Structure 1
């Protein structure tokens, strides 16, 4: 009698049928602790009961949190709508004041003409809006022209712009106002900020030349030499380069170099 070779298809290697449980509702496989909720209905039921109990015990807290979230969303939307409306009103109110400003009628631009608000009123009433922010810039320039240097500083310090060139201009105007108040170090620092805020070949050399002058007025001759050197190194083709070269020699002599 020949032996049957023990191959993968031989009866010896075929999978043996698993016994069928007496109760068809019982799982045929063993319980897997890795997925208790999927494998064990009792665990899932227990978890649901625990969740319901948690919700019941913390109902007031959860309702309070939900109320706060809803109020925050409604409040944020309301504030955005109100602020947009205020900005539109501010832009309209400032229209005539800007016309006076452009016509170099600074007093009417600042105070208004009895019928239309001036920049002072717009900056105060619409503070926090784009219109109020822009009114601060116009008012700062107007105050500077009128010789109200501290007022110019106050307005310009409340102004900020995403436009890099406009913001650099505001820094330079702050330098001008401080120069008029004989605050030379403060002026030099603002000119330096203006020169390095989006540094460019069109305006930075001029701001650096102002910085060097302010440094000399503050008797910071080494600082002045540094500003002159930056002009000659970074902006050697600028109109300010010739002055920088001339004044640098004087500053070096005063600095003892």
Structure 2
């Protein structure tokens, strides 16, 4: 057991004197090892100083480059893209309200005119921006309204859903396009993805209903019945629920 020795303490016998010498020797060895380790570390740093400074420099340049790119390139690009969206959005909204000229208005929204960008230009010129993503969704919807369903699917499948574009609406619109092309099985798959994506009182009963109708067409009556029954039980106040008993009856017939 170690004991505390006061300064100036003299050993009482030879064995105690020997123990003190060994203790001092061990302490000296520890400090010597520490000094040697520190010296080796300093030597390593000295030998690799250029490499270390290079790594630090690369990290600094990367961080500053990212901040600079975001502030001086990406942010102005996003702002410019958002400004360009004003023109095609105007024609898209007019097309929804003007049935007489809807096709020509949708084409103006897609292709632009008078030196102004359309959705397709924004997608090409401002790739990677939020506006390009919205333009991709709008282009898909415009092609769907123009009954160009292959193109509608092509663009809608590229959309990354965000706060402004819900995944359920995108997936459901792809399902609608496949249904119009006569690919009912594909339509059913996307309707199922659409109602599974988000649970709400608007899109969920809509795509459950559409999935049920598609399943009926494919003679998958048990699956259709399950979807129709869910509309009735979980969304009794929805528009789809108003006539759902008729479809439940159709699904129950043998």
- TM-score over 0.5 (shorter chain): yes
Query: Is contact 2:192–2:211 with CA below 8 Å preserved after alignment?
Result: yes
Equivalent of 2:87 in 96, 106, 110:
96
Tell me the TM-score normalized by structure 2. 0.80
Query: What corresponds to 2:140 in structure 1?
Result: 140
TM-score (norm 1): 0.79
Q: Point out the structure with max Rg over C-alpha.
A: 1
1:204 Cα offset (Å): 1.5
Q: Is the 8 A contact 1:164 1:198 kept in 2?
A: no
1:59 to 49, 56, 64: 49
The Cα of 1:65 is off from its aligned counterpart by 2.1
- Over 3 Å counting, the alpha-carbon distance change for 1:83 and 1:165 in structure 2 is closer
Cα shift at 1:165: 7.0
- Cross-structure match for 2:8: 20
| RMSD value, Cα | 3.0
Gaps of 5+ in 1: 1-14
Partner of 2:59: 69
Mapped to 1, the partners of 2:175 and 2:4 lie a distance apart of: 93
C-alpha contact (below 8 Å) 2:88/2:110 kept by paired residues? yes
**SS of equivalent to 2:166:** helix
CA distance in 1, matches of 2:228, 2:124: 40
The CA deviation at 1:154 is: 1.6
Q: How far apart in 1 are the matches of 2:217 and 2:69?
A: 48
**Could you give the per-residue CA deviations for residues 116-172 of structure 1, whole angstroms, max 9, x where no partner exists?**
011111012111110100101111111111111111112111212333873322222
- Which deviates further from its counterpart, 97-106 or 226-235? 226-235
Name whichever of 233-242 and 49-58 sits farther off: 233-242
Quick one: distance in 1 between partners of 2:53 and 2:217?
66
Give the paired residue count: 233
Unaligned runs of 5+ in 2: 11-19, 96-104
Structure 2 contact 137–159 (Cα < 8 Å) conserved: yes
Which of 68, 76, 96 pairs up with 1:78?
Answer: 68
Determine the C-alpha separation between the residues in 2 that align with 1:127 and 1:203: 29
CA 1:232–1:122 in 2, change beyond 3 Å: closer, same or farther? same
**Conserved? CA contact 2:168–2:203, under 8 Å:** no
Shift of residue 246, structure 1, vs aligned partner:
1.6
4+ aligned runs moved over 6 Å, structure 1 = none
